[in-house]
Structure 1
Amino acid sequence: MDQPSDAPGTDRRALAAAALTVVLWASAFVSIRSSAAHYGPGALALGRLLTASLALGCVLLVKRVPLPSRKAWPGILASGVLWFGLYMVALNWGEQKVDAGTAAMIVNIGPIIIALLSGWLLKEGFPPMLLAGMGVSFAGAAVVGLSTSTGGAASVTGVLLCLVAALTYGAGVVSQKPALSHASPLQVTTYGCFVGTAVTLPFAGQLLTDLPRAPLNATLNMVYLGLFPTALAFTTWTYALSRTTAGKMGATTYAVPAAVVLIAWAVLDEVPGWLTLLGGAICLAGVAVSRRRPAARPARHAPPGHEEPPIHTGS
């Protein structure tokens, strides 16, 4: 199932879907703060994925969507295990061991991994503007991370877990891209979510223990995480990914730190410092640079007296 990727209208739809994804993923960080204190890392991941799986499963039944083709399953399985499963557990666990600023700086190597893997494995190449923009955005993410870091000693275990999260995120995205040539974004997202839920089922006992003890607000935030940053945002992500390169989509996620700062400011009344605002602005500038197309080369003109011979097309 070939998806157009260069038509202007399609690109606008992809950008709109990517923007919605960025906003919803940024909101996830606010909800995770409220629920992570009452749910273990694995329990929170499983609860979130169960909620998303139920919602997406209902959509499949209502729309009578068939199973994906056999060629799509390797990518669906890989992204389900790596991104939906391991990434969510590793990130939840890692953020309990290190402060949010340190975690953000480490996890933000994920888009760089996406660019490297997609350039190599998916033959997307290494566009100079994309690499330059990612470098600028990573610098901005580092500024945001430094400005929000508590300055305490980082746990080696926490750093390693955040690194695992970055690696599984990058590999999961690159695994999704080929699957979208053989299945719809809804199919890739839904069945990937099912696989991730199966991977996190060993934490079912932890979830059943935490559920009756957690306050209602924490549980509602976990449900929100499943419905919006997972079910909806991962679907809009795959929709956009099917219409552009994995490298560009990875670079777009550098807008998340800036969106997190704004949402925390509006919802939690956490007034950001000037350094945090500067970092967010740098992130957005890098995303803009990464999506720029290189300037077209000027047409070559033959010197006077050296006209090109006419091209005969036949009749």
Structure 2
Amino acid sequence: MTDNFNQPSTGLFVKAMPIIFVFLWSTGFIGAKMGLPFVEPMTFLAIRFGICVLLMVPFVLITQTQWPARWIDYIHISIGGLLMHGGYLGFVFLSISKGTPAGISSLIVGIQPLIVAALAGVLLKETVSLQKWIGLLLGLAGVFLVVSNKLSIGEGTLFGMSLSFIALVSIAAATLYQKKFCSQMNIKSGNLIQFAVAGVYFYLTSLLFETGEVIWSGELIFALLWLVIILSLGAMTLLYMLLRTGAAANVSSLFYLTPPCTAVVAYFLFDETLGALSLLGMGIAVAGVALVNYRFKKAGRT
């Protein structure tokens, strides 16, 4: 038996989960933008997940959360965490630190819903209809328009772009793996296991490849708190709840909405402009996600 997250109520919160998830996930750039000038990426992520573990341990113990019953479950949960945190987050942060523009990185990773949809039928026995394929392609087109004004390839970004492609493969694999092998995990203990595995991974990689220097500042502390509370504890929990209750292709399509939402947040926080193409792209991306997730009623039926 798992905790209450396994069977969420059918109230307003459940219906609002996709919207809340998209907003929270889209704010992840705030932490990276504020924190990376003061710390190297692997060290940054090691500190982030170390804090996550410190916060989760007493919470899991106090609530007497159930742990996985089999060792194979620990292995599956750990692999899912390494793909999602170590692979996706690690290579995105590395890519940006190597000079890849955020627009290019987000566009590369934005291909993820198409990969998940293509593989979901084979690996998860999910049916991806023509309507969903059209919606996925529309969503990708919308993302391209949103970030088109930020697409610029400067010197030395080819290696950084390749890291974004590794992040793309990692998050697609993480989505499919989590859906197939970890959909019934207890979200509290499962998150703790994944945070701990990710923390060890980032700590070891920081020891091997970085100096470990940290310039403590108000911006870095805010970035860490934001990434820990809003992203790791908030958005990741919602993502796993969505994967548990919805098809992998449908959940993945929500990632198309994060670049438009990020653009809106950046407009208010950093005075980044929103051009006509960006606004058009937002509309197209929303329409694409609607096509993926909306089930049209057949004629003659109510």
* Interval of TM-score (by shorter of Structure 1 and Structure 2): 0.7 to 0.9
Tell whether the 8 Å contact from 2:103 to 2:150 is kept in structure 1 after alignment: yes
Worse overlay, 252-261 or 16-25: 16-25
1:146 maps to: 148
The letter of the residue matching 2:110 is: N
Task: Give 1:58's aligned residue.
Answer: 58
Residue of structure 2 equivalent to 1:303: none
Task: Note the alpha carbon deviations across 1:77-98, whole angstroms, 9 max, x for none.
Answer: 2211111112111000111231
Contact 1:76 1:192 in 2 (8 A): yes
How far residue 180 of structure 1 moved from its aligned partner, in angstroms, is: 4.0
| Contact 2:66–2:186 (CA under 8 A) maintained in structure 1 | no
Q: What residue in structure 2 maps to residue 273 of structure 1?
A: 275
| Equivalent residue letter for 1:66 | Q
**TM-superposed deviation, 1:143:** 1.2
Letter aligned with residue 45 of structure 1: L
Q: Give the structure 2 partner of residue 166 of structure 1.
A: 168
Deviations 1:221-276 (A, max 9, x none): 12321221111110111112111111110001211111101111122222312222
Q: Could you say which residue in structure 2 is the equivalent of 1:210?
A: 213
Q: How many residue pairs were aligned?
A: 295
Tell me the residue number matched to 2:33: 33
Q: CA deviation at 1:298?
A: 5.3
TM-score (norm 1): 0.85
1:24-173 paired onto structure 2 within 5 Å: 24-70=24-70, 72-96=73-97, 97-152=99-154, 155-173=157-175
What residue identity is the alignment partner of 1:103? S
Structure 1 pair 188/174, CA: closer, same or farther in 2 (3 Å)? farther
CA distance in 1, matches of 2:21, 2:100: 26
The alpha carbon displacement at 1:155 in A equals 2.0
Q: Are 1:250 and 2:252 counterparts?
A: yes
- What do the CA deviations read for 1:126-182 (whole angstroms, capped 9, x no partner)? 222222211111011111221222353562211110000010001011111134443
**SS of the residue aligned with 2:38?**
coil
Whether 1:292 and 2:272 are equivalent positions in the alignment is no
Distance 1:181 1:101 in 2: 31
One-letter code of the match for 2:32? I
Q: Distance in 1 between matches of 2:267 and 2:48?
A: 25
SS in structure 2 at match of 1:242 = helix
Structure 2 contact 84–170 (Cα < 8 Å) conserved:
yes
Q: Which runs of 5+ in 1 are unaligned?
A: 300-315
For the aligned residues, what is the CA RMSD? 2.6
Cα distance change on mapping 1:232 and 1:57 into 2, 3 Å = farther
* Amino acid in structure 2 at the alignment position of 1:76: I
Match of 1:307 in 2: none
Unaligned runs of 5+ in 2: none
Q: Percent identity?
A: 23
Q: Residues 176 and 124 (structure 1 numbering): CA distance in 2 closer, same or farther, change over 3 Å?
A: same
SS of the equivalent of 1:165 reads helix
- AA matched with 1:101: G
Please tell me the residue identity of whatever aligns with 2:213. Answer: D
Which region of structure 1 is more displaced relative to structure 2, 176-185 or 88-97? 176-185
The residue type paired with residue 184 of structure 2 is: H
Counterpart residue type for residue 78 of structure 2 = L
Query: CA separation in 2, counterparts of 1:128 and 1:72?
Result: 35
- The 1:280/1:210 distance shift into structure 2, 3 A limit, reads farther
Partner of 1:222: 224
Paired with 1:8 and 1:68, the residues of 2 have a C-alpha distance of 20
Q: 1:73 corresponds to which letter in structure 2?
A: Y
Give me the whole-angstrom Cα distance separating, in 2, the residues matched to 1:30 and 1:279. Answer: 22
